[in-house]
A and B are shown apart, each in its own frame.
Chain A
Amino acid sequence: MRQLIISTLILLLAAIQLQAQAAADSPEQKLAEEWLKQLNALDDWYLSVDGKEEGVEQLVNSMMDLYAPDVLAEVPPHDKDQIGPVMIRGKENVRKWVERIAKTQVRLNYILKRQTEGPTGEYEGWRLIYSTKLPWGGTGIAFQIIGVWSLREDRRRFMAPGAVFIQYGPDGKIHRLRLLLAEIDEVKPL
């Protein structure tokens, strides 16, 4: 009897594990992870000993490989005088936004929010990616994030809950991006 219970439990755990693996390996999951990985990598560059910025161009290029030439992006305000989101049209303009992040922000740490079924499970469990097939072809994905970054000039650190909506075309490139960041708060040591 005991053997039967143990065997059943092992089978059950294996099934859960397989299901988890399948969700983590889904193409939509990979798309979301890749976008966040490229965003977080934008501060992985250094100054040379003779004062040259090294590696920033490659990181920006790598991020821009994800976008289609006619991309339309709605991003949070990045100017002190700007109120509300900014609509950016075209890859070259999105590039300027990406470059601005790479050159003015450090310690980037955008993470996917996790969730379990229970009421308190917001920081553990699944990294949920909502996805849909677009009527005109391609895939749309959406996911919740927590964005954390520091300003390069004075190291002030900020944090904001947010959400990302991305539409990929049949070419696999991003045609629309919407990055929402709400309630941006400065993180201060206690």
Chain B
Amino acid sequence: MNRQVVFIVIVIAAVFVFATAFAQQHRPYNQIMKDVGATFASLKKNLDANSATAAAQDAAKLEGLFAETEAFWAPFDTKDAISFAKRARDAAAAVGAAAKGNDIKAAQESYSVIQKNCANCHFSHREETGKGFLIKP
């Protein structure tokens, strides 16, 4: 009986460790940024076309992508990057809420907040090499 309990505890602990390790794995940052770029462009297109439903879907996707961005920066002592990602995520949520309420004007305003945070973060943490980009700590 005791042996069974010990075995179950070990299995549960192993699953927990594996799940934690898996959760800490990030997608490569360049992939996240490429997805942000494409989704952000799609969001603009949909907002300009007054396609509220499609815009809300893009905003939801962006929210997830900025959460990934935030998770990338979280282990480092780089509070400004974390804040930029957080603010962009909040703005994406605001775009989504406005789009769901069919308020395109408010959605456009929140869209520009995302844009501003992206630009600020790129100014501090993105270095262009001519062949690609480097991530400044």
Contacts and interface: CB of A to CB of B under 8 A. Distances in A.
Interface of A: 43, 45-51, 53, 103-104, 106, 152-155
Contacts, number: 43
B29 A46 contact: no
B28 interface: yes
Contacts of B130: none
A41 B111 CA distance: 38
B76 interface: yes
B112 interface: no
A155 B77 CA distance: 11
A45 B80 contact: no
B72 interface: yes
Majority DSSP secondary structure for residues of B touching A:
mixed
Contact of B135 (A43, A49, A154, A155): A49
A106 B136 contact: yes
Shortest Cβ-Cβ A-B pairs, 9 listed:
A49-B28, A47-B135, A49-B29, A46-B134, A153-B77, A49-B30, A153-B79, A155-B80, A154-B79
Contacts of B76: 47, 51
Interface string B31-64: 1000000000000000000000000000000000
A155 B76 CA distance: 13
Contact of A104 (B31, B75, B77, B136): B77
Nearest to A102: B137
Given A46-B135, A155-B124, A51 B77 contact: no
B26 A106 contact: no
B78 interface: yes
A46 B77 contact: no
Contacts of B29: 47, 49-51
B136 A46 contact: yes
Given A46-B135, A104-B77, A153-B80, 7 more contacts: A46-B127, A47-B137, A49-B30, A49-B31, A103-B77, A106-B137, A154-B80
A153 B79 CA distance: 5
A51 B135 CA distance: 9
B93 to A, nearest CB: 24
A51 B79 CA distance: 15
Nearest to A155: B80
Contacts of A103: 77, 137
Contacts of A47: 29, 76, 135-137
A98 to B, nearest CB: 16
A50 B134 CA distance: 12
A152 B72 contact: no
Interface in B52-92: 72, 75-80
A183 to B, nearest CB: 25
